[in-house]
A and B are shown apart, each in its own frame.
Chain A
Amino acid sequence: MSRYLLRRLLLTIPVLIGVATLVFALIHFIPGDPAQAMLGEGATPEDVAQLRVRLGLDRPLLVQYGSFLNGVVHGDLGVSLRNDQPVTKQILERMPATAELAFAAMAVAVLFALPLGIVAAVWRGTWIDHAAMTLSLVGISVPNFWLGPLMAIVFAVELGWLPVGGSGTLAHLVLPSITLGAALAAILARMTRASLLEELSEPYVLAARAKGVSRTRAVLHHAFRNSLIPIVTILGLQFGVVLTGAVITETIFAWPGIGRLLIQSISFRDYPTVQGCVLLIAITYVGVNLITDLTYGFLDPRIRVDRS
């Protein structure tokens, strides 16, 4: 196990360096002078020159790159152009809100997806299965930037049950978490069905039934428990859907998280903050994937033997 762990950890390092390199390069993809682009056409040459010095753009590219990597390692992502605050501080302030939303969305997804997937697998080939899978495909197809406003129209505007935006109470969390969790629920329901169907065809389920175990018990206590391993993995791997979806969901519901900070920073051309947000989201995603992979290896010994 320790060899597998070490190997998996070592493989993550080049990916993280690659991610940091690409994020560093972003600012250099700006057509023309990045400092001029950030300040706009009306800026004086002095202001532009000053910003170039402030961002270190006057230094050789390799020196800039080294300095950027050094900053990333030490948690220094530069200073915001909008409010002169350290980017790291801004992101850390917003992180709990995004984490809260992401976990609530995942809870919503699990709550809807598992029963739907189980029902579809148990009644495979029937109208229940078709209805559940069609519903899940609809869930994948409905964009969250439409679902969110639609739910706001119904539950906030028409019925007045929930607030239309903002944060602070549990009521504020309901609409954003359903909006964000819907697509994940749809994917998870399909995976649950597929995984459970595979387990249901295993001889041990038949053996349990032959011994007189009830159908419900055979499904829930035997097959479903074993089908959870790939489901947990998918849940981890689909965390990316939640993170990207958070950018849009936070914008719709004025949720004070990293996604909203990213979009606000783009509109203010605050590129150091844009770089910081993108880097943090990508690193979080890599970290969650790593944990998922290790958990999978821990749960299923065949994986760590195969891969090492």
Chain B
Amino acid sequence: MIRVGAVIVLLTVVAALAAPWAVPYDPSSQQLSLRLERPSPSHPFGLDELGRDIFSRVLAGARISLLVGITVVGISSIAGIVLGAIAGYFGGWLDEAISRSIDVLLAFPGILLAIALVAVLGPSLKNVVMALSAIGWVGYARLVRGQVLRAREFEFVQAARALGARTPRILFRHVVPTTLPAVMVQATLGMAGAILAEASLSFLGLGVQPPTPSWGTMLNGGRVHLLDAPHLTIFPGAAIAVLVLGFNFLGDGLRDVLDPKRQRV
């Protein structure tokens, strides 16, 4: 599974990086006379409602998906690690404040808060990243807090403390690295979550705005042509499903590799 996941992710990354040169047609160029044309050898995924090549747009859309995934996971994980480590290591009122904030944010299921935030901030790629990061750090913070609570009692941490190491050094040199395998698994699965969330918001018309080729936006555009041109829906959706499946395979595999207890189960 982990290999299948790695291959899918790697191929998508390569496709996204090579997209500007690899696309057979300009993703924005329109051929109105050929609008809604079904898949053919010259256009393997067919053409959309404005006569744009769907294959080229799916390739270009991979860049948006990966960009959102990497940015959201990057911001969320860094914020989550710092806040979770502070809460777990120092305890007291800092822990209370951070933990209660986590509780409140977890009271909003899934991407509901992201939908609400984008609704008030306005639909754009930047606001999608902001909204998803605003809710994304919570999972990492909760995970890291739990791990730090355990790690701060480890002998090598106490030894570092006894040797007079300063708190930031103990925290970020000795304690936080013990949490990284778990964070890595969460980040891989988080990539899948972020890609799916961006596509969901774009599908609802709250994310990336046309004409930028995003998979969610393409699916939204395909809704009105469900009866006469289903290929508008099939290919961008398949791209999302395959990439998300790739990250899920990878995350699941990593979790099994990094957690021997789960391997036994």
Binding site for B on A (CB under 8 A): 14-16, 18-19, 21-23, 26-27, 29-31, 134, 137-138, 140-143, 145-146, 149-150, 152-153, 157, 164, 194, 197-198, 239-241, 243-245, 247-248, 251-252, 262-263, 266-267, 271, 274, 278, 281-282, 285-286
Contact = CB atoms under 8 A, between A and B. Distances in A.
Given A137-B248, A141-B245, A248-B203, A149 B233 contact: yes
A145 B109 CA distance: 18
Contact of A262 (B108, B115, B223): B115
Interface residues of B, number: 46
Nearest to B237: A146
Nearest to B123: A266
Interface in B205-253: 205-206, 216, 219, 222-223, 226-227, 230, 233-234, 237-238, 240-241, 244-245, 248-249, 252
* Of B100, B233, B234, most A-chain CB atoms within 10 Å: B233
A220 B14 CA distance: 48
A153 B223 CA distance: 11
A149 B120 contact: no
A22 B234 CA distance: 38
A31 B119 CA distance: 11
Nearest to B101: A18
Contacts of B199: 143, 145
Nearest to B192: A141
Given A27-B120, A278-B116, A282-B109, A248 B227 contact: no
A142 B222 CA distance: 17
B181 interface: no
Nearest to B103: A15
A266 B112 CA distance: 13
Contact of A152 (B120, B206, B226, B241): B226
Q: Is the interface of B mostly helix, strand, loop or mixed?
A: helix
Given A26-B116, A152-B226, A262-B115, A146 B219 contact: yes
B230 A19 contact: no
B177 interface: no
B240 A146 contact: yes
B119 A153 contact: no
B87 interface: no
Contacts of A30: 120-121
A57 B202 CA distance: 31
A248 B121 contact: no
B112 A19 contact: no
Nearest to B223: A149
Given A141-B245, A146-B219, 18 more contacts: A18-B107, A19-B104, A30-B120, A30-B121, A138-B245, A141-B241, A141-B248, A145-B203, A145-B216, A146-B238, A149-B223, A243-B109, A243-B112, A244-B112, A248-B200, A278-B108, A278-B115, A281-B109
B144 interface: no
Nearest to A18: B104
B175 interface: no
